[in-house]
Amino acid sequence: MENSTSPKFKQNAHDALNDASLQRALGRLKTGFKDKRTAAIAQLPEFEQLRDAARDIKNHTLANLDHYLTAFEANVIANGGHVHWCADAEEARQTVLKICQDKDAKSVLKGKSMISEEIGLNAFLEKQDLKVVETDLGEYIIQLRNEPPSHIIAPAIHVHKEQVADSFRATHKGRDINRPLDEPRELLDEAREVMREHFFAADVGITGANFLIAETGTSVIVTNEGNGDLTQTLSKVHIAIASLEKVVPTLEDASTILRVLARSATGQEMSSYTTFSTGPRRTEDLDGPEEYHVILLDNGRSNMLGTEFQDMLRCIRCAACMNHCPVYGAVGGHAYGWVYPGPMGSVLTPSLIGVEEAGHLPNASTFCGKCEEVCPMRIPLPKMMRHWREREFEKHLGPQSMRFGIQAWAWMASQPKLYQFATGIAARALKLIGGSKRAIRKLPLASGWTDIRDLPAPQGKTFKQLWAEQQAAKKA
Amino acid sequence: MTDPSSLSPSSSRSAVLGRIRKNLGRAAGPQDAPAEVVTRLANPPRNVMPARGQIPHDQQLNLFVKMAEDVNASVRRVENSDAIVGEVSRYLAEHNQPAVVRLAPDATITGLDWNKTTLETSSGVAGPLDMVSVTPAFAGVAETGSLMLRSSPDQPYTLNMLPDTHIVVVRASQIVGTYEEVWSLQRQSQGRGTMPRTFLWVTGPSRTGDIEQTLQLGAHGPRRLHIILVDDTGETSVGQPD
């Protein structure tokens, strides 16, 4: 997924708000993950301390990233695995392809991986005549629908069960066309059956990685379905694709972050399967892959180090920020136009594809601050969105009218007397326009607001005037 | 084997590392890791550990059972190893499961007196037709009711994932409070920095919420996870656990 529709965010958002089916799906998000997260955290008194510890581990790791990556690499090699450093998406795709070709692979199974989405791996491999099957149920559903994920941990959150049934009937041939597929259970059982055939036929299994552990040369996946485990165990070759910042120093450090990951994501105490994979199968082992490869992808991350966006590299992709974001909750993930939606996407996407392309995203925020409040890694997401807005302004990317408006306001704000005079007049004028309804339905230059909702009218005086009156009354 | 150097030109390795060093404000080229990095890797410190798991061992056993049951595993405590085969048989009958069982080729499991039951047993990797597996565990963690399973020639990994019903035998002496204790045991058992091909934490059976956020058990892994917790105080087991 290299092409973005992020420049069209405003139109995407508008369409999403008018999409009844999507709005029904997003309604489920308003409870679900959020309530479960709250309940899980209430059970763990040390949660805030764990957040601090998790943040500190990642900060320490990022400050020593070269050392931990080379230690990780050395330990992968010592255990019989391979590490491939890839500067960008193209190099990562070519490296995966080369591994597949060397094994004369026909079929590739995929565990869920956002990096794979980032580098557009499926479409690329399919063009090379490889059969690619997503094994995570949500990813499988959207693969059949030929669309990108709309959420980083629940990729098919925008899809209804009736739509899943339609996709299954269209794809799973040779079955009774009138078979019941009304309930999630029936859909899951069919997917499980279909997927079993794929598992036993796979040549190469590709998974992502939630962590890379420097101490042992281990990659870790966190899953609930068990699909990732079957993908990486039944295939001849296991490829783990991970970006640089996934590395942590030790098993203990991974465990600390694991304690905040599932709780923040799905509200589980721990996901069903947390799998630590180190090297290929050992000589005496009866199963497991013959080869183990790690793709270490940079794709713009090393250039976030040393900038105001370095903290974003602490992100563990739990999705708590989007689960709690009023903007994401209103427009869903596809409107963001690239791989990573929600607040974390609004910060990360401009770093990876450029603020010229994704400049709308940091503006898609009400600055309510909920994302930072729930982020287990304490990433100051709103602050970073403001940094992007500054960059956007510096690069003259916003509309000319907005630029002029902000410059005019900045000049006014530096002339206190004039500012007070002008705002005093404005407050009185707006009160008059508001009339008895105390709301304004149309206002020149403010149609962006008033087209959609009324502007509450001020009650006639500025804050400074009210303050002065109140102080005078106190003295009297 | 694929030659890694032919795949990943060293130019990308040095370019990526070069950018990292430059942006961290360091000198170019490889440098020795600072002492805090070396120390952290050699003697991994324990970070914050929840008080929940740091309780007397008999309470840890109760917590382990409660937490495992909370995530849809079933747990049965038995008095000694002799009771394991009977419990496997009982569980399968109760859940209307086939009396055909694939065992981990591990002495603590295959060494049990399976002839006492009518179960048909075999051992080795799991295949597409195996519906029930019985495996040992390396440890259990009370904090979240998680089982710790290591792959090895005696414990093929597919047994954990392919069968519909996964039965795990764990001994009371193997239950600890926290993950950190497991890593200490792992280092004692195989040496520092050494891991098996897969070290799996299992917390309940396979599940998904991918269709309209409704929880369904048995996505691609086991539909049922049954834990037999053996009270092994004062018992010599038939093999070395794990």
B37 contacts on A by Cβ (under 8 Å): 64, 67-68, 71, 249
Least CB-CB distance to A288: which of B157, B209, B216?
A: B157
Query: d(Cα B173, Cα A135) in Å, to the nearest integer?
Result: 37
pLDDT at A1: 53
pLDDT at B219: 94
How distant is the Cα of B19 from the closest Cα of chain A, in angstroms?
6
From A293, which residue of chain B is nearest by alpha-carbon distance? Answer: B4
Q: In chain A, what are the domains? A: 38-299 (3.40.50.10420), 321-394 (no CATH), 415-475 (no CATH)
pLDDT at A23: 94
Least CB-CB distance to A188: which of B15, B52, B211?
A: B211
pLDDT at A374: 98
pLDDT at residue B4 above 50? no
pLDDT (tens digit per residue) in B155-189: 999 999 999 999 999 999 999 999 999 999 999 99
The ipTM (two decimal places) reads: 0.94
Query: What is the fold of B51-230?
Result: Rossmann fold (3.40.50)
Full pLDDT tens readout for chain A, 476 residues: 557 899 999 999 999 999 999 999 998 887 789 999 999 999 999 999 999 999 999 999 999 999 999 999 999 999 999 999 999 999 999 999 999 999 999 999 999 999 999 999 999 999 999 999 999 999 999 999 999 999 999 999 999 999 999 999 999 999 998 999 999 999 999 999 999 999 999 999 999 999 999 999 999 999 999 999 999 999 999 999 999 999 999 999 999 999 999 999 999 999 999 999 999 999 999 999 999 999 999 999 999 999 999 999 999 999 999 999 999 999 999 999 999 999 999 999 999 999 989 989 999 899 999 999 999 999 999 999 999 999 888 888 877 888 888 888 889 889 989 998 988 998 898 888 888 888 888 887 778 778 878 888 888 888 888 999 999 998 87
> Helix, strand, or coil here: B175?
strand
Instruction: Write out the residue limits of the CATH 3.40.50.10420 domain(s) in chain B.
Output: 51-230
CB-based contact A252 B180, cutoff 8 Å: yes
> Helix, strand, or coil here: B108?
helix
- What's phi and psi for A412, nearest 5 deg? -60, -45
CB-based contact B199 A157, cutoff 8 Å: no
Confidence of residue B25 (pLDDT cuts 50, 70, 90): very high
pLDDT at residue B144 above 50? yes
Least confident of A106-110, A392-396, B95-99, B206-210: A392-396
pLDDT at B1: 41
pLDDT at residue B238 above 70? no
Calculate mean pLDDT across residues B178-205.
97
pLDDT at A212: 98
Mean pLDDT, chain B, as a whole number?
Answer: 93
Least CB-CB distance to B216: which of A185, A275, A280?
A: A185
From A288, which residue of chain B is nearest by alpha-carbon distance? Answer: B157
Query: d(Cα A311, Cα A96) in Å, to the nearest integer?
Result: 29
From A190, which residue of chain B is nearest by alpha-carbon distance? Answer: B219
pLDDT at A233: 96
CB-based contact B20 A71, cutoff 8 Å: no
Share of chain B above pLDDT 90, in %: 87
pLDDT at A245: 98
Structure tokens at A377: 């890694």
